[in-house]
Amino acid sequence: MAPRYTLTNGAVIKTNDWRYFVMAVLLLVPVASAALPEPPAQHQPWTPPAARGLPEYVVTVAGRLFDVGLADPRGGEYREIEFAIPLAHYPKAHDRLKTHAWVFSNQYAVGWNGLVYRTLTVGRRVDLDRDVRTIAATEPWSGRVPLPKEPQPERAAFWFNMEGPGVLAPLSIALLIRLGRPDLALQLWQAPESKIPGGIVLQHEQDGPQLFSTSVRSWLREAYWRLISARDRDDDQEAVDIAESLTVWETRLLGAWKQIASSGHGEFPDTWFLKPVPSLLADSQRRLGEPVRPKMGPQAVRIADLIKRLEDVRGEKVVIPGQLEYTTDPVCERLTREGEAAVEPLLDAYEHDQRLTRSVDYGRPWYTERGPVPVSEVAKSVLSDILNVPHFVEGASPAELREWWEKHKNGGLLLRSFELLADDHATPEEWLQSAEAITLRSDIKRLGAVTSTEPGGCSPDKPIPKAFGEALRSHQNPSVSELLVKRTAWLALSETPDTCHMAFMAYRWDPKATVSGLHLARNLEACRGDGLVTAARMAVGDSNAAAEWAALIRKRVSKPEFQISELLPIWIFPDDAVMQQTADWLFNQSNSPLAPSVEPDDVDSPLLTLRAYRQAVREALNDSSVAGTATRSPEGMLSIATKTGRTESLEPGTDPRQVPPGQERPVRVKDIVAWQMSDLKGAPEFQPDWPEPDKDQVIPELAGFLQAHESEFRAFPARPEDAACLDEYVYLSH
């Protein structure tokens, strides 16, 4: 038998479709009237216009959408407006979005997506007919596929900026029909569909149920993203208004669907992404009712306050798809700095806290679904950062974590790290984390998963600083050196690449006492080809290290995405004969795989300290072959397209010589190389989209700069121990 659900209004649904159940749950939430403002004409009578050329079901669906709650534009003045950006990928509260909308009382407006916005500014009247012609000419049906959108024409930004995770065209068509302008609605309806990946061209919806489902999904997705954004901007009143409105609209959806799908065919609109709305509504209501938090005080008070503020945490994705990271959030960062004094309160939050944070998790930025992140998950993340045992914390229940803490809380981070390194039953991940905590140089700060440099740290002119674990050097039987070599040997037995990292950490702890660890690592091909291990082996006098690494580099370099850091031994030991031969092969021969003419992005790197590489750069500065084209956006952003990809600048240019928006200019190999060289401190300015005469005037100056300073170029890192620092760069010694 199909499940039976009775709603608060007495309606009964019998269905096997779980989506009806989600809607039923939303209907059971206590609801007042829709909290977002309703336009004056929302409930006034409306006679559908004669719509020559439009299918009858398009007009019928439009009427039903307004019955559900799509905002009615009748009586509004069509004007330019600004409002706080509502989309979830624009989280800053001070950001504004300019668009065109139907304004009421200069206080709120109906946008092209059928939602009401409170206006920040109201500008001049706009020609609606002209706007519709512009929209129709710029692929208005391109939002069907949930993929990143190509940049849209600037002239239609007022419309495309309102498009979130769904297709906007059906909602805009409904608005125009409601206004009595079926002629304009027809222009959008007749606009062709865009091609989707694979070259397939979709079709418009062929009947009322299809069009209603598409329209409802797009409209409610827009509203849901706006709810997420309001919470992200700390605007809980807006979040409550939207959540309450969404709940009211859901109560009306079933009745409208019955009228559209009266024949019994069609699929009910898929609104499962609204499942978190009740919990988000309750959480925002809770926030509005709470008093203002007190100022910080002693440590116990500070920690308690920070625990309360975990509800305001915002996570970021470093990798997409990937997990949210909270380490850089100010609240999490301050809690982590409180150290082990925060562990007990965090354990309580991990086990008992039922609140939600401002964060939402997602698969990819353009996906509609957004899952609220509970405070307990963030507390667990901060515990992982403080305790420095992320793999254990990840799989541990609150009870297991409490038991672990009771056992280890009296030792401090260094002693715990030593004990884990000495524990034969610990995991390889725990050995590696412990070794990292002990051997990391003291001018580098590690806060959870984030590494940064202390002020004045990682200087090429200063001696190598002591390790964080310096106090452990007195430990004997076993010593840290003995344990690091032992763990290298154990990891080598399983032939894991982690062997290389452990062997290098042993070297940076005590180069002389841990030579045997490097010898163990050389038995693995991965470690013989590892730049750090090779540099360490060469530093302790291993005569085979350079040749073994060079042989593997000749194999490795043919693979894609070769990282500049993998070539570290070449510039640390530039006088080694094997390294000189390898550099000549890599950069300075007709078929060299990493020549500047092939990989120009590495020009302003430590490679510039190598004679072979500088010679290759000079030759590339004479290469006039066309590599691609340069364009500028209306905002002045530079984009260079080549056969291997696209490079874009992060800041707009203002040079009058740059290519005008909407035009393109050819870019030669020497232009790209010169552009990279111009990043060097003291080098002449150069832009690859200048006219050729201007570029040809500066390129000889750049070649002269290279010649004049070739003896002054210095590389960082210049020692294997400096590789723990955060970047590779080239600088002038003066």
DSSP one-letter string for 605-664 = SGGGGSHHHHHHHHHHTT---EEEEEEE-TT--EEEEETTEEEE-SS----TTSPPTT-E
Query: What is the full DSSP assignment across 370-398?
Result: -EEEEHHHHHHHHHHHHHT-HHHHHH--H
- Sequence-ordered list of residues with C-beta below 8 angstroms from that of 678, at least 6 positions apart, any chain: 684, 685, 686, 702
Instruction: Using alpha carbons, select from 284, 186, 275, 270 the residue that is nearest to residue 229.
Output: 284
Dihedral-angle region of residue 384 (phi above 0 means left; psi in -120 to 50 means alpha; beta otherwise):
alpha
Residue with tokens 């672990």: 404
pLDDT at 20: 42
Q: 457 and 443 in contact (C-beta within 8 Å)?
A: yes
Mean pLDDT lowest for which of 34-43, 221-230, 688-697? 34-43
Strand 77-84 to strand 96-104: parallel, antiparallel, or no bridges (unpaired)?
antiparallel
Residue 133, pLDDT above cutoff 90? yes
Residue 471 has pLDDT above 80, yes or no: yes
Given a cut of 80, whether residue 194 has pLDDT beyond it is no
Greater confidence (312 vs 451) lies with: 312
Q: Is the pLDDT of residue 168 over 60?
A: yes
Give the mean pLDDT of 67-91: 79
First to last CA, the chain: 84
Nearest Cα to Cα of residue 159 among 149, 174, 170, 169: 169
Q: Is 79 helix (H, G, I), strand (E, B) or coil?
A: strand
Residue 271: partners with Cβ closer than 8 Å, 6 or more residues away: 19, 22, 23, 216, 217, 220, 250, 253
pLDDT of residue 152: 63
For 726, list phi and psi in degrees, rounded to 5.
-90, -5
Taking 70 as the threshold, does the pLDDT of residue 2 lie above it?
no
Q: Tell me the pLDDT band of 145, cut-offs 50, 70 and 90.
A: low
Over the range 62-71, which residues count as b (16 or more CB within 10 Å of their CB) and which as e?
Answer: bbbbbebbbb
Question: What's the pLDDT at 701?
Answer: 96
Q: Is the pLDDT assigned to residue 146 strictly greater than 60?
A: no
Name the range with the highest mean pLDDT among 14-18, 146-150, 348-352, 630-634: 348-352
Nearest to 99, CA basis, from 159, 38, 182, 49: 159
Burial of 642 from C-beta contacts in 10 A (0-12 / 13-18 / 19+): middle
Mean of pLDDT values over 56-63: 93
Alpha carbons 31 and 119: distance in angstroms, whole number: 26
| pLDDT above 70 (res 558) | no
> Which of helix, strand or coil describes residue 342?
helix
pLDDT above 60: residue 31: no
Mean pLDDT of all residues in 190-218: 81
Report pLDDT for 591: 84
Reported confidence tier of residue 26, pLDDT bands at 50, 70, 90: very low
Please write the tens of the pLDDT for every residue from 506-537: 999 999 988 999 999 999 999 999 999 999 99
- 8 Å CB contact between 81 and 100: yes
Is residue 6's pLDDT more than 80?
Answer: no
Q: What is the pLDDT averaged over residues 312-318?
A: 86
Q: How far apart are CA 46 and CA 39, in angstroms?
A: 14
Question: Which has more confidence, 709 or 320?
Answer: 709
- Residue identified by tokens 């021969």 is 589
- CA-only gyration radius of the chain, Å: 31
Provide the pLDDT for residue 488. 95
Residue 15 pLDDT grade (very low, low, confident, very high; cuts 50, 70, 90): very low
Give the torsion sign (CA, 384, 389, 392, 398).
negative
List pLDDT tens digits, range 390-426.
778 888 899 999 998 888 887 778 888 898 899 999 8
What integer pLDDT is reported at residue 94 of this predicted model?
Answer: 45
Looking at residue 395, what is its pLDDT?
85
Average pLDDT over residues 296-300: 76
Report d(CA 101, CA 419) in Å as an integer.
65
Distances (CA, A) of 589 to 134, 463, 548, 553: 53, 38, 22, 16
Residues comprising the chain, all counted: 734
* Separation between Cα atoms, residue 94 and residue 116, nearest integer Å: 19
Q: How far is CA 284 from the centre of its chain?
A: 25
Question: What residue ranges do the domains of the chain occupy?
Answer: 56-145+152-283, 292-410, 412-520, 580-716
Q: Which residue has the higher pLDDT, 629 or 319?
A: 629
Residue range 599-604: mean pLDDT, rounded: 86
Comparing 141-155, 409-423, 427-441, the range with the smallest average pLDDT is: 141-155
The mean per-residue pLDDT over the stretch 659-684 comes to 92
- What pLDDT is stored for residue 470 in this prediction? 92
Residue 731 phi/psi, 5° resolution? -145, 165
Contact 134, 97 (CB under 8 A): no
Residue 708 pLDDT greater than 50, yes or no: yes
Answer yes or no: is pLDDT of 13 > 60: no
Q: Which two tokens stand for residue 215?
A: 């329209």
Q: What is the pLDDT of residues 631-658, one digit of tens each?
A: 988 778 888 888 877 777 767 788 899 9
Q: According to the model, what pLDDT value does residue 197 have? A: 58
Mean residue pLDDT of the chain comes to 85
Residue 97 — pLDDT band, cuts 50, 70, 90?
confident
Residue 376, CB half-sphere, CA atoms under 13 Å: how many?
11
Give the pairing type, strands 638-642 and 645-648. Answer: antiparallel
pTM across the whole model? 0.64
- What's residue 704's pLDDT? 95
Q: Identify which of 268, 145, 287 has the alpha carbon closest to the alpha carbon of residue 210.
A: 268
Q: Is 149 left (phi over 0), alpha (psi -120 to 50) or beta?
A: beta
Give the sheet arrangement for strand 645-648, strand by strand. Answer: 645-648, 638-642, 626-632, 664-668
Mean pLDDT of the region 270-296 = 84
Residue 276 CA to residue 274 CA, distance in Å, equals: 6
Q: Which of 163-167, 278-282, 493-497, 598-602 has the lowest mean pLDDT?
A: 163-167
Q: What is the structure's pLDDT at 320?
A: 76
Sign of torsion over alpha carbons 599, 600, 605, 611: positive
Q: Provide the pLDDT confidence category of residue 11 given band limits of 50, 70 and 90.
A: very low
What lies within 8 Å, CB to CB, of 127 at 6+ separation is none
